Chain A
Amino acid sequence: MSALLALAVLAPLVAFAVLGVSLWFGLVWTERATAAAVVGSCALSAVATASVVVALWAGPESLAISPVGTWFGHADEAFHLRLLGDALSLPFALLGSVLCGLIGVFARRYLHRDPGYHRFYLLLALFVAGVELVVLAGALELLVVGWELAGLTSALLIAFFHHRRGPVAHGLRAFATYRLCDIGLLAALAILHHSAGTDIGAATPTGPVVVAIGLLLLIGSMGKAAQFPFSGWLPRAMEGPTPSSAIFYGAISVSLGPYLLLRTEEVWGQSTVVRVAVVLVGVVTAGYATLVGRVQTDVKSALAFASMGQVALVYIEVGAGLRLLAVIHLIAHALLRSAQLLRSPSLLHDHHHLEQATGAPLPPTGRHYERLLPTTTRRRLYRTALERGYIDGWLVDRVLTGVTRALHHASERGTR
């Protein structure tokens, strides 16, 4: 089973390496060959994961651990290469490889003759490798490797249409959010390394350090999951090609945040403070996403906020200790939302078709607000929702711009 777990991670990584080296040396494959290589690697990864699932189901063991090896470092500082297949990681690993493979098949036609066709598949292969590494990692240090790969591919795919300034700026914004939240993840890892070790399922820390580790992990997870106040990048991320929006922001990438919390629950789960904080983040984000999502005027933005809201509900479930429900919710949401996003370019056609079928305009939604809230409050809420809670304006225009300007002037002083 160890070899199968390794194969699940290595297959897409090898596809990425082969494609990347070929492109570097000017060997441009045909579109069909490029897609086949990446989709094939996803299929191989899915078969390997499914084989582990079957073997565990048929056998007496409940989890598969690959042999512990050391990548580099000695003694306490050693970096462990350890993969873990269990009831939490295997469903996500299977989901990741199957969905990415399907997206690969879909994109063959969607991106046919697009100048960035090979780049898309190259990044998709790296993303699958990153996701498989995150979910199958048996040590948190290894999880971070996959985490970073997934973050980079996400940003580069948002900036896929690189000749336009908007997607480029939005890709950078997403990456900046990831990296700032990564400070929390890396800090949690550093503390964990010196308190109980980073191998999953090994010893757990005790005492006040648990709260610090739990809160840092929560911050680390919030960037990828687009939880409030780190949510501004998600609707902007929809400027990437639709297949990547579906797989990243409808399905897999946004699910990595809650997955991190589920994976590390035995580390922070004993702390009520952390549980309350996780629930609070979920409640605030769910309210924010519901409010703002209702006034979006394009389907991909509306789906982005819907995705944010559902992931926020999963946060509440994780915080409340409803582990199984959270896993089912995440998987079901990933499947449904990616299908919705793939279908989104045909929304107007579908809408028109539905109206023709029913013989009347479709009824407006959200009328109950008119009955429940006075007009002034509704207008105020509407304005707040249109401005996305004023968070972007305040955070970017007031805080970030001021800080960067001050730092720039400080750096200029004395150097010229």
Chain B
Amino acid sequence: MINLAALLVTAFWLAGALVTRRAPDPRTARRTATVVATIAVATAIAAQWLPGRGPVLLVISIAGLLAVAVAPAATHPPSAIGRTMGLLATSTLSLAITNDFVAIALWALSAWLMYSAVRRTPQGPRFLGHHAVSALSFAVGTALVTLDIPLGGLLVLVGVAVRLPLFPLHLWFPSFVSTTPMALVVAFGTTPIAVLSHLEPPGLAVTIGALSALIAALFAATQRNGHQATAYLLMSHAGLVTAGHQSDGPSLWLATTLAGAGLAMTTAATHARRGTLSYTEPLGNLAHTPKLAVSHLVFGLALIGFPLLAAFAPDHLLIEQSLTHADYMWLPLITTIAINGITVLRSFLALFAGTPTPTGERDLTPLENYAITTALTLVTTVGLVPTLLGTPL
């Protein structure tokens, strides 16, 4: 089955990727990409009234808008913006064509696109090692699942556990988030949740997801810089999504992808202004960057399922359903959510408070303001009316 709206959005992203790669400078590339992302978002909004996968398409498009509009010019040359749009195109294309073998091809393609961006960095070999295994496991596992061979589900689980990432196959991820342009990290994280439907055995996937969520939450709470804490927060929520894959994972994926993109991009914007994201040496002052600070906090709170924000309803349902589907897992899930809350407030206070001196940092630029306001509107609207996301798959 082909989803025409997703196909159209894919075409926009691909066209945008080709145009922005040839842009003379990062600012022009960012402006062009933002126009393309706006068209993609408008198309995805229109698709809400069509039968199909409206919510997923909309969330990927808004995550894409955040990625390209908030991407700091200093760390995102036109080639990085172009690759970001290419990655987004692979995500929306997997929505457009629901076929296992297309999914395998897109999985490998997105990993290769990402590798092409990091191959000349110290992270390149580690990324290649992990994602070669991931793509191979996913491909072989999916093929075996179609042949009804039980080992297939386990191989898919290994592939997904590397990609999301889940403990203990996460070793590539924290340094990847710290050193890679954040727009690429966000785009790479938009791989649709449909792949989780093949996970076997489900009980093992839930256990690995819940434990990974808890371990990552504990790691996140003890980090000393913003990049590492963001990396482990994202990893923790990947664990929660996996733990809920049988029941509420899809809704949780939508909420965390949106809020996670916002948190990651505001972290990147702060890093671009300051050059460091140390938690031990406070350098921020929220009086000078109030919108950046507030958006960082609200996206963080939305990610951890704070009331009235995007992930609250999915988190609530995840806990309720974990009592039905996996009654031994509700306690780690609750603990994870509580600890992640501490990490988010710590990040906000460490990055935007603690110093009386004027920082000279600029608050949100018009382009950033546009993208962040759009995303915050969705984050709060979905928080107040969770049923807007509907049934995502």
Contact = CB atoms under 8 A, between A and B. Distances in A.
A24 B291 contact: yes
B157 to A, nearest CB: 21
Interface string B308-330: 10000100110111011000001
A183 B339 CA distance: 9
B349 interface: yes
Instruction: Identify the 9 closest CB pairs spanning chains A and B, nearest first.
Output: A162-B353, A163-B356, A411-B219, A145-B307, A72-B386, A408-B222, A407-B222, A404-B222, A77-B320
Contacts of B173: 415
Contacts of A182: 338, 341
Contacts of A187: 330-331, 334
B334 A183 contact: yes
Contact of A162 (B291, B338, B354): B354
Interface stretch (B35-43, B88-96, B279-287): B279-287
A36 B330 CA distance: 44
Interface stretch (A95-103, A104-112, A171-179): A171-179
Nearest to A116: B287
A186 B355 contact: no
Interface of A: 23-24, 71-73, 76-77, 79, 115-116, 141, 144-145, 148-149, 152, 155, 159, 162-165, 168, 171-172, 175-176, 179-180, 182-183, 186-187, 190, 193-194, 404-405, 407-408, 410-411, 414-416
B287 A168 contact: no
Contact of B341 (A24, A115, A116, A175): A175
A404 B334 CA distance: 20
Please indicate which of the listed interface residues A77, A152, A416 has the most CB atoms of chain B within 10 Å of its own CB: A77
A410 B219 contact: yes
A337 B280 CA distance: 36
| Interface majority SS (helix, strand, loop, mixed), chain A | helix
Contact of B223 (A23, A73, A168, A408): A408
A165 B354 contact: yes
A180 to B, nearest CB: 6
A408 B349 contact: no
Contact of B285 (A145, A162, A407): A162
Given A144-B307, A162-B285, A172-B345, 18 more contacts: A71-B313, A72-B387, A73-B317, A148-B306, A148-B307, A162-B286, A162-B352, A163-B353, A163-B356, A168-B353, A168-B354, A175-B341, A190-B319, A190-B334, A407-B218, A411-B174, A411-B219, A415-B175
Contact of B354 (A163, A404, A414): A163
B313 A72 contact: yes
B342 interface: yes
Nearest to A409: B222
B158 interface: no
Contact of A186 (B291, B294, B334): B334
Please indicate which of the listed interface residues A116, A164, A411 has the most CB atoms of chain B within 10 Å of its own CB: A411
A268 B115 CA distance: 57
Contacts of B282: 165, 168
Interface string B190-226: 0000000000000000000000000000110111100
B247 to A, nearest CB: 9
B240 to A, nearest CB: 14
Contacts of B349: 159, 162, 168, 171-172
A172 B346 contact: yes
B151 interface: no
Contacts of B170: 415
Contacts of A141: 316
Contacts of B291: 24
Nearest to A141: B316
B308 A145 contact: yes
27 contacts: A24-B294, A24-B373, A73-B316, A79-B313, A115-B287, A141-B316, A144-B307, A148-B306, A149-B308, A163-B355, A163-B356, A165-B354, A168-B354, A171-B345, A172-B346, A175-B342, A179-B338, A179-B339, A179-B342, A180-B338, A180-B342, A190-B330, A194-B324, A404-B221, A407-B219, A411-B232, A415-B171
Contacts of A414: 171
Contacts of B338: 179-180, 182-183, 186
B246 to A, nearest CB: 14
B99 interface: no
A24 B373 CA distance: 9
Contacts of B307: 144-145, 148-149
B121 interface: no
Contacts of B223: 408, 411
B335 interface: yes
Contacts of B317: 72-73, 77
A145 B307 CA distance: 6
A191 B285 CA distance: 42
A145 B221 CA distance: 23
A364 to B, nearest CB: 39
Contact of A73 (B221, B232, B320, B330): B320
A204 to B, nearest CB: 19
Contacts of A180: 338, 342
Contacts of A155: 345
Nearest to A175: B345
A414 B129 CA distance: 14
Interface string B222-258: 1110001000100000000000000000000000000
Contacts of B320: 73, 76-77, 190, 193
Contacts of B356: 163-164
Nearest to A25: B373
Please indicate which of the listed interface residues B175, B335, B373 has the most CB atoms of chain A within 10 Å of its own CB: B335
A72 B224 CA distance: 38
A148 B286 CA distance: 22
Contact of B386 (A71, A144, A164, A407): A71
Contacts of A168: 282, 349, 353-354
A24 B349 CA distance: 19
Contacts of A23: 290
Contacts of A115: 287
B200 to A, nearest CB: 25
Nearest to B291: A24
Contacts of B294: 24
